[in-house]
A and B are shown apart, each in its own frame.
Chain A
Amino acid sequence: MKLIIAIIKPFKLEEVKTALSEVGVEGMTVTEVKGFGRQKGHTEIYRGSEYTVDFLPKVKIEIAVADTVAAKAIEAIVGSAKTGKIGDGKVFVVPLDEVIRIRTDERGETAI
């Protein structure tokens, strides 16, 4: 099993959710985060006091998938989140040791 963590531009969330749904991935966890890579921040000025804001708002999506689904899920995310401009984000793929469904105590791929 894999845990796929994707950092994307916030306005792309709906598209990514639809694309994942089309490849059979229905559940996900979404967090609002901030960060930067190569994308530059911006400057704000309040009555003459300048502030450089380095951090940009992003959205983090976390999904647990079976190994067989992983490649299609990654393709769905990358395809729908891409704009071609700096700041599109990244996908991290992490091996997942165990998944448990709390309601039924199921374990493993059936719990995904």
Chain B
Amino acid sequence: MNILQLKPLRSLLAACLALSASAAVFAQAAAPAPAAPAPAPTLEQRVAGLEAYLGNGDPSAPLKTGPKDKDGNATIPAGLTTPSVGTAGPGHNGFMMICAALVLFMTLPGLALFYGGLVRTKNVLSVMAQCLGLAGLVTILWWAFGYSLVFGKNFNSPFLGGSEFFFLKGVDSAPNTDYAFWVSQNVFSMYQLMFAIITPALIVGAIAERMKFSAILVFMTLWMFLVYFPLAHMVWGSSGWMNGVWNAGASIKAIDFAGGTVVHMSSGWSALILCLLVGPRLGFGKTPMPPHSLVLCMIGTGMLWVGWYGFNAGSAVAADGVAANAFTTTTLATAVASFTWATLEYITRRKMSVLGFCSGAVAGLVVVTPACGFITPSSAMPLGVLAGLVPFLACTKLKGMLKYDDALDTFGVHAVGGTLGALLTGFFATASVNSNLSTNLKDIVGKSLWLEQVKAIVVTLLLAVVMTAIIGFVVKAIVGLRPTVEAEQEGLDLSDHGEEGYIYEPKS
């Protein structure tokens, strides 16, 4: 045998012997005394855990038979658990996955078509690129920081969540019981991501046809961190400053079921400031700029309405009675608002228009968003009428008077509608359709809740307006907001994306 092969072989043998010897020693030292067997749950406790699934309750509640802790709360004896604890419930979880898909459907392609049809042909792709680009950008931000900053809690702050879920660490199929007992935390995170995607996408309506793609991406990145993440935490985070329903220590005891403040007020008021900063389209007021395809616009509206059931009913984060009520109120308010807007057109101009039906429907959806899980179907009817009336006046009268170029009426529908909805929620909310309102808000629902809503409205408005102004000026300085005059005239589809939306060539 070759001497080179012999030496390493001997070393290997020696190493193995040493390793197994020390392993034996360690094994002897670490062997624990046999532990007491884990307590078995009773049949009653297990059935109660299953019943909790039906009622969207806490499956670990029946296990709290141990001694009380220092705060006086009953504890669970060590090791006592049932298969229902820490696992997602199939019905609730499946429902939420569908709802997440529905909310994404609202952006892609709902909003893309709704907005796309309202701009001129040379800019149709720019709207679609903005929706697609934001979907990708926001997903990355959400995964890295966003979900944790909104729904974490290790900062112990009413204004921002925490860092424990950065890069979705620890976010798996077990429920996060701060937010849901029966929905996987990863599903909850993806569901909330869809809200985070559509909110900046709404803003682009106000600056359509005249803001550079690069500027939009930079602006929205900063906007998510400075407006959306803090606001969403304040309203929906377990330690949020304005989370009246779930945070007993909230300074502002406001309620917002599906995002009247978080999504619509934030995007709408930011849109106004941005549209004033960017300035009007070239030729605004002189050149006619009618919608190039109300066909696309209407198709988008249908998709928004259907998808919004995921937005509103899904905000119950369970397939339960609260979701069922939200589904009902959403339907009634939207249909009534759509018909109201068209009726107002008939009164003022003798014609009910497709754009009127579409705008009314979207306005109804916006206004009922903060209210849907907290109000009765009967209240949804007058809410729908107001949702048709007030945004109608904002879009047809206010814009004409003040002459700002809110190209696609993001301010008129989302800011005005969201504000109206947040206010009406304060008046119409009742614990009879949502018992969660009795947990921390029993003394103010039906009484001074509207005042808390007003406080939340003011905070949201100020945050959106001030931050957008700052971010706008910063982006203007670094990247510039507008395309060149030539680029704007040839259309953003060509200048930003190098593409044409419609190429109708002769057949041969």
A20-62 interface with B by 8 A CB criterion = 44-49, 51, 53
Of the candidates A44, A46, A53, the one having the most CB atoms from chain B within 10 angstroms of its own CB is A46
CB-CB nearest in chain B for A45: B349
The distance from the CB of A46 to the nearest CB of chain B, in whole angstroms, is: 5
The distance from the CB of A106 to the nearest CB of chain B, in whole angstroms, is: 24
- Looking at chain A's contact residues, the main secondary structure is strand
Bound Cα distance A53, B291 (Å): 14
Interface segment, B86-94, B215-223, B394-402?
B394-402
Determine the chain B residues whose CB is within 8 A of the CB of A45 once the complex forms. 349, 353
What 6 A-B pairs have minimum CB-CB distances, sorted nearest first? Answer: A48-B396, A51-B288, A47-B395, A51-B290, A46-B290, A46-B355
**Cβ-neighbour of B396 out of A44, A47, A51, A53 (below 8 A):** A47
The distance from the CB of A34 to the nearest CB of chain B, in whole angstroms, is: 14
The distance from the CB of B269 to the nearest CB of chain A, in whole angstroms, is: 19
CB-CB nearest in chain B for A53: B288
Bound Cα distance A46, B412 (Å): 14
| Subset of 23 A-B contacts with CB under 8 Å | A44-B290, A45-B349, A45-B353, A46-B290, A46-B353, A46-B355, A47-B355, A47-B356, A47-B359, A47-B395, A47-B396, A47-B409, A47-B412, A48-B395, A48-B396, A48-B397, A48-B399, A48-B400, A49-B290, A49-B400, A51-B288, A51-B290, A53-B288
**Assuming A48-B395, A48-B400, what are 4 further A-B pairs, CB within 8 angstroms?**
A47-B412, A49-B400, A51-B290, A53-B288
The distance from the CB of A9 to the nearest CB of chain B, in whole angstroms, is: 23
Contact with A along B378-416 (1 / 0, CB 8 A): 000000000000000001110110000000010010000
Q: Is the CB of A46 within 8 A of B397?
A: no
Determine the chain A residues whose CB is within 8 A of the CB of B396 once the complex forms. 47-48
The number of residues on chain A lying at the interface, defined by a beta carbon within 8 Å of a beta carbon of chain B, is 8
Determine the chain B residues whose CB is within 8 A of the CB of A47 once the complex forms. 355-356, 359, 395-396, 409, 412
Of the candidates A45, A47, A48, A49, the one having the most CB atoms from chain B within 10 angstroms of its own CB is A47
Summed over the interface, the residue pairs from A and B with CB atoms below 8 Å come to a total of: 24
Bound Cα distance A49, B395 (Å): 9
Bound Cα distance A48, B291 (Å): 13
The distance from the CB of A31 to the nearest CB of chain B, in whole angstroms, is: 12
CB-CB nearest in chain A for B399: A48
Bound Cα distance A44, B409 (Å): 18
Q: Which residues of A come within 8 Å of B, CB atoms?
A: 44-49, 51, 53
Bound Cα distance A48, B392 (Å): 9
Bound Cα distance A45, B400 (Å): 13
Bound Cα distance A49, B396 (Å): 7
Bound Cα distance A51, B359 (Å): 19
B266-319 interface with A by 8 A CB criterion = 288, 290-291
Bound Cα distance A47, B359 (Å): 8
CB-CB nearest in chain B for A43: B349
CB-CB nearest in chain B for A48: B396
CB-CB nearest in chain A for B400: A48
The distance from the CB of A51 to the nearest CB of chain B, in whole angstroms, is: 4
The distance from the CB of A73 to the nearest CB of chain B, in whole angstroms, is: 27
Bound Cα distance A66, B315 (Å): 77
CB-CB nearest in chain B for A47: B395
Determine the chain A residues whose CB is within 8 A of the CB of B412 once the complex forms. 47
The distance from the CB of A16 to the nearest CB of chain B, in whole angstroms, is: 23
Bound Cα distance A49, B284 (Å): 11
Bound Cα distance A49, B349 (Å): 12
The distance from the CB of B457 to the nearest CB of chain A, in whole angstroms, is: 25
Determine the chain B residues whose CB is within 8 A of the CB of A44 once the complex forms. 290
Determine the chain A residues whose CB is within 8 A of the CB of B400 once the complex forms. 48-49
Bound Cα distance A51, B399 (Å): 16
Bound Cα distance A54, B279 (Å): 28
Determine the chain B residues whose CB is within 8 A of the CB of A46 once the complex forms. 290-291, 353, 355
The distance from the CB of B293 to the nearest CB of chain A, in whole angstroms, is: 12
Determine the chain B residues whose CB is within 8 A of the CB of A48 once the complex forms. 395-397, 399-400
Bound Cα distance A49, B409 (Å): 11
Bound Cα distance A64, B467 (Å): 68
Bound Cα distance A46, B396 (Å): 9
CB-CB nearest in chain A for B351: A45
Bound Cα distance A49, B407 (Å): 11
Bound Cα distance A51, B409 (Å): 17
CB-CB nearest in chain A for B345: A45
Bound Cα distance A53, B288 (Å): 9
Bound Cα distance A48, B402 (Å): 13
Determine the chain B residues whose CB is within 8 A of the CB of A49 once the complex forms. 290, 400
Bound Cα distance A51, B291 (Å): 11
Determine the chain A residues whose CB is within 8 A of the CB of B397 once the complex forms. 48
Determine the chain B residues whose CB is within 8 A of the CB of A51 once the complex forms. 288, 290
Bound Cα distance A46, B288 (Å): 11
The distance from the CB of B362 to the nearest CB of chain A, in whole angstroms, is: 11
CB-CB nearest in chain A for B413: A47
The distance from the CB of A29 to the nearest CB of chain B, in whole angstroms, is: 13
Determine the chain A residues whose CB is within 8 A of the CB of B356 once the complex forms. 47
Determine the chain A residues whose CB is within 8 A of the CB of B353 once the complex forms. 45-46
